[in-house]
A and B are shown apart, each in its own frame.
Chain A
Amino acid sequence: MKGKILLLVVIAVVLGLAIAGCAEKKPSETPTPTPAKKETPVSTPTPAPTQPQVEKVVVGGTLSLSGKFANEGKLSLWGIQAALKWINDVHGGVNVGGKKVKLEFKYYDDESKKETVQSFYERLVTVDKADVLLAPYSSGLTLAAAPIAEKYGKLYVSHGGASDRIFEQGYEYVVQVLSPASKYQSGALDLIKSIDPSAKRVALIYEDNEFAKSVFRGAKEHAEELGFEVVFDKTYPKNPTDLTPLLSEMKAANPDIVLGGGHFADGQLLVTQMADLKVNAKFISIIVAPALPKFYEALGTRAEGIAGPGQWEIGVKYSPEAAKQAGLEYYGPTQEEFLKYFHEVAGEDVQPDYHAAEAAGAILAIAKAIDTAGTTDSKALRDTFSKLEFMTFFGNFKIDPQTGKQVGHEMVLFQWQGGKKVIIWPPEAATGEPYYPIPTWEEKEQGKLATK
């Protein structure tokens, strides 16, 4: 009896939801034709494009505000909000058909899950009428939702999908703003090559995921091009609790340089356990984890000398003056202005990291393309993107016209020195000298810092 009642209740709820869903969909679809009709007389005098008058441009996307990318998602949102402040309040909006309109960002929380992104992107296009799509964070999620963008022919701008594989699928509307994964560890190798020709033995130790594999495939190729010898190249599965077996084998390979990482937790674990097992190397560069201040807080002096690549760091020298020197147009807020807007939305005590900057960079690129093309038509925007070359506070923008892969933007390499992140590569962006070779774990236990 109880079971039957429960079944009835469940059926009633499902039916109720279905009806509510239909009811919600219908009114949103019906009013759209009416304003279009009303506006036709307005648009008839202007002979050229038959585009209806637009009141605003909607950029739609999902952010990972909960789940494993919650941290990156939060920072991305703040970065986006800071960029929108400049676009709407300072720049006056984006130019569509000769008229400045507001740029709006419509988003959902994808909970860092592949399973959720596709339906949210469907919804963003069909219900929320997004004009341009901002891809979700991470390569995995970016790949998951890309088919939806292609299906509706919407421009799909990636701010956190670095994997090169995204751009090898033949997608037409995918555009990348950040440097591709294959470039992440190039800076570290270039740096070592330039300061210590005797360091030859490179070990690669990384997470078995799409993004990290792209990074280290690129690193391996680059290392071999530069004449390094890759003596260890192994992965660990996601969420490892103990890396000892891998690390003892790596220790036996006796590397000069260790390049590794994946995401936050495993990056912290990697460095802690290298310290536990006293696996010393002359230089260590880890992707993702060391970029955050929490990395240093968690590891203390063990973090000294650890380097990491970043898409952006506070202090990088991209400015209107630098753009002029490079013969490029500068678009968007200066770094100082960006920091000001960022603190307005995020609070004074939060510092933006590259996740915030790359998301802001993506929104600025979208605004720049709309400004240049004067329309939100996906085809026109994609063609505009192929030709655009400009600089924002995030760095240069230029894509490969064929694949949409970013080729203009450059990574920076930072190193933790005396509790501070110092940019050590490339030389034109550097804020300090590299500390090389880094202190050993034994020296760090005695309190030695990576400062001269």
Chain B
Amino acid sequence: MPFLEQLAGNLIYGAILGAVYGLATMGLSQIFGVLKIVNVGHGAFIMLGAFTAYWMFTLYSINPMLSIPIALVIGLSMGLAVFYTVIRRLIGAPELSSLLATFGIGIFLEELAKFFWGPDHRGYTWNIGSVNLSITLIPYSKLLAFGMSIIIALILYSIFQKTRIGTAIRAVVEDREGAMVCGVNVTRIYALSFAIGIGLTVMSGVLVTLFVPVGINPYMGGEYTLKAFVIAVLGGLSSPWGAFVGGFIFGLLENGSYTILSLFPNVEPFSLTRFVAFSVLLIILLVKPTGLMGGEGE
């Protein structure tokens, strides 16, 4: 039956897209969870990741999968640099200051990218074939994006749960003063958390290009910032795992609702998918104001 086939195909793509969305949001939640700073310049870091994949591929023919660790290193070092120059001064400052500062960093990075690389829309083609599921075709590169997103999320989870640093980070989230009394260097934990958040975000930029390998330009981040905010709120703003699950749900909703909406005559289903996604967000927030995996409220 064509309807069910299309629905299934769209849900598969929705799941892949959702995993990428999820990973692209984890960095935002990670930073907010630990530092209580909303990184409004989030999308600019995704853009940097996308350009990393693009340049590695076009200049050095480096497989985008290998760009993932490169992007992580770039992201971690940028995160540390930004933390020690700007963010450190903003800990405990009024929210507006940190909003403006991160907004400024975002604009700075976008304009810097435009200055060096120009405003063109770039892209690369990494064709490694596709798998035929008879209902739909899925390029291996998209499957890799899906798999890698899940693997990276799991690695992050085990770092947080199993290592000393992870324990320290969780301690700072739970009780800053308490952690300090126990000998945790809070500033260093902040620096590390911020760096991990940015590292994740830049890395997710590479995965975004595995899903959408075109349209890479200095201003591409805006759309992802918007979606990341929605997804982060959906998942409970301070929980990176919630963000991952939220991304997944958002992707499924966006693509899945299309098939159902297209059954109605005289509607533009695609324009309504966002309406459906946001309506579900509203309902979830009405039922559970702290988001799906948020705590019991602050």
**Measuring CB to CB, which residues of chain A are less than 8 angstroms from any residue of chain B?**
66-68, 70-71, 74, 208, 234-237, 239-242, 244-246, 248-249, 252, 264-266, 268-269, 272, 276-278, 289, 292, 294, 297-300, 302, 445
A277 to B, closest residue via Cβ: B137
Which residues in A have their C-beta under 8 angstroms from that of B120? 71, 292, 294
Scoring B residues 180 to 208 as 1 if CB is less than 8 Å from chain A, else 0, what string do you get?
A: 00000000000000000000000000000
Q: Which residues of B contact A245 (CB under 8 A)?
A: 6, 10, 13, 255, 258-259, 262, 269-270, 273
**Contacting pair A249 B125 (CB below 8 A):** no
Indicate whether A264 sits within 8 Å of B10 (C-beta atoms), given known contacts A234-B270, A302-B125. Answer: no
A300→B258 contact, CB < 8 A? no
Which residues of chain B have a CB within 8 Å of any CB of chain A? 2, 6, 9-10, 13-14, 17, 111, 114, 118-125, 127, 130, 136-139, 142, 211-215, 217-220, 222-223, 254-255, 258-259, 262, 268-271, 273-274
Q: Which of B9, B121, B223 contacts A268 (CB 8 A)?
A: B121
Q: With the chains together, A237 CA to B226 CA distance in Å?
A: 15
B271 touches A208 (CB 8 A): yes
Provide 27 A-B residue pairs closer than 8 Å at the C-beta atoms, listed in order of the A residue: A70-B119, A70-B219, A234-B270, A236-B270, A237-B274, A239-B222, A239-B223, A241-B17, A242-B14, A244-B10, A244-B255, A245-B6, A245-B10, A246-B258, A246-B270, A248-B9, A252-B2, A264-B215, A265-B220, A269-B212, A272-B212, A276-B130, A294-B123, A297-B123, A298-B122, A299-B214, A302-B125
The 8 lowest CB-CB distance pairs between A and B, nearest first, are A298-B123, A265-B215, A70-B119, A268-B214, A245-B258, A264-B121, A244-B13, A239-B223
* Residue in B6, B121, B220, B222 whose beta carbon sits within 8 Å of that of A249 in the complex: B6
Cα-based distance from A235 to B271 in the complex (angstroms): 8
A383–B123 Cα distance when bound, in Å, is: 47
Q: Is the CB of A298 within 8 A of B214?
A: yes
Please state if A235 and B270 are interface contacts (CB–CB under 8 Å): yes
Given the interface contacts A248-B10, A297-B122, A298-B124, does A66 sit within 8 Å of B268 by beta carbon? no
When chains A and B are docked, how far (Å) is the Cα of A289 from the Cα of B213?
15
* Residues of chain B lying within 8 A (CB to CB) of residue A276: 130, 137-139, 142
A208 touches B121 (CB 8 A): no
Report the separation of the CA atoms of residues A298 and B57 in the bound assembly, to the nearest whole angstrom.
Answer: 11
Instruction: For A300, list chain B residues within 8 Å (CB).
Output: 125
B212 close to A71 (CB less than 8 A): no
Are the CB atoms of A445 and B127 closer together than 8 Å?
A: yes
CB distance from A266 to the nearest CB of B (A): 7
- Give chain A nearest CB distance to B29 CB in angstroms: 20
Instruction: Give A74 to B111 CA distance when docked, in angstroms.
Output: 14
Q: Which of B13, B127, B138, B217 contacts A242 (CB 8 A)?
A: B13
Tell me, rounded to whole Å, the shortest Cβ–Cβ distance linking A69 to chain B.
9
Contacts of B271 in A (CB 8 A): 208, 235-237
| Given A264-B121, A265-B217: A241 touches B268 (CB 8 Å cut-off) | no
Contacts of A248 in B (CB 8 A): 6, 9-10, 136
B123 & A272 in contact (Cβ 8 Å cutoff): yes
Instruction: Check if A241 sits within 8 Å of B123, measured CB to CB.
Output: no
- Return B211 CB to nearest CB of chain A, in Å: 7
The answer for the CA separation of A278 and B2 in the assembled complex, in Å, is 17
In the bound complex, how far is the Cα of B273 from the Cα of A448, in angstroms? 37
**Contact: A277 with B136, CB < 8 Å?**
yes
Question: What's the Cα separation between A265 and B217 when bound, in Å?
Answer: 9
How distant is the Cα of A45 from the Cα of B120 in the complex, in angstroms? 56
A8 CB → nearest B CB, Å: 16
Q: Are B139 and A242 in contact (CB under 8 A)?
A: no
**Cα(A259)–Cα(B10), bound, Å:** 23
Contact, CB under 8 Å: B219 / A268: no
Which residues on the A side are within 8 Å of B213 (C-beta)? 272, 298
Closest chain-B Cβ to A416's Cβ sits at a distance in Å of 14
**Max chain A C-beta neighbours (<10 A), residue from B13, B14, B138, B222:** B13
Chain B nearest CB, measured from A269 CB (Å): 6
Query: How near does chain B come to A167, taking the closest CB pair, in angstroms?
Result: 25
Q: In the assembly, what is the distance between CA of A242 and CA of B10, in Å?
A: 10
Say yes or no: A272 contacts B214, CB within 8 Å: yes
User: Are A234 and B10 in contact, CB atoms less than 8 angstroms apart?
Assistant: no
The reply to whether A208 and B268 contact each other, CB–CB distance below 8 Å, is yes
Partner of A294, one of B121, B258, B269: B121
Closest A residue to B10 by beta carbon equals A245
A234 engages B214 (CB within 8 Å)? no
Knowing that A248-B136, A265-B215 touch, tell me 15 more A-B residue pairs with CB under 8 angstroms.
Answer: A66-B114, A66-B119, A74-B119, A208-B271, A236-B271, A237-B271, A242-B211, A264-B215, A269-B214, A272-B213, A294-B121, A294-B123, A298-B125, A300-B125, A302-B125
Q: Report the bound CA distance from A262 to B114 in whole Å.
A: 22
A248, B14: Cα distance in complex, Å = 13
Contact B270 A71 (CB under 8 A): no
Question: Nearest chain-A residue to B121 (Cβ)?
Answer: A264
Given the complex, which residues of A lie within 8 Å of B220, measured CB to CB? 265
Distance (whole angstroms) from the CB of B230 to the closest CB of chain A: 13
> Nearest Cβ distance between residue A445 and chain B, in whole angstroms?
7
Are B136 and A67 in contact (CB-based, < 8 A)?
no
Which of chain B's residues have a CB closer than 8 A to the CB of A264? 121, 215, 217
Partner of B255, one of A71, A237, A242, A302: A242
Please tell me if the beta carbons of A252 and B6 are within 8 angstroms of each other in the complex: yes
Bound form: Cα–Cα A239–B215 in Å: 10
Q: How close is A9's CB to chain B, nearest CB, in angstroms? A: 13
Question: Measured between alpha carbons, how far is A67 from B111 in the docked complex, in Å?
Answer: 9
The residues of A that contact B123 with a CB separation of less than 8 Å are 268, 272, 294, 297-299
Contacts of B118 in A (CB 8 A): 71
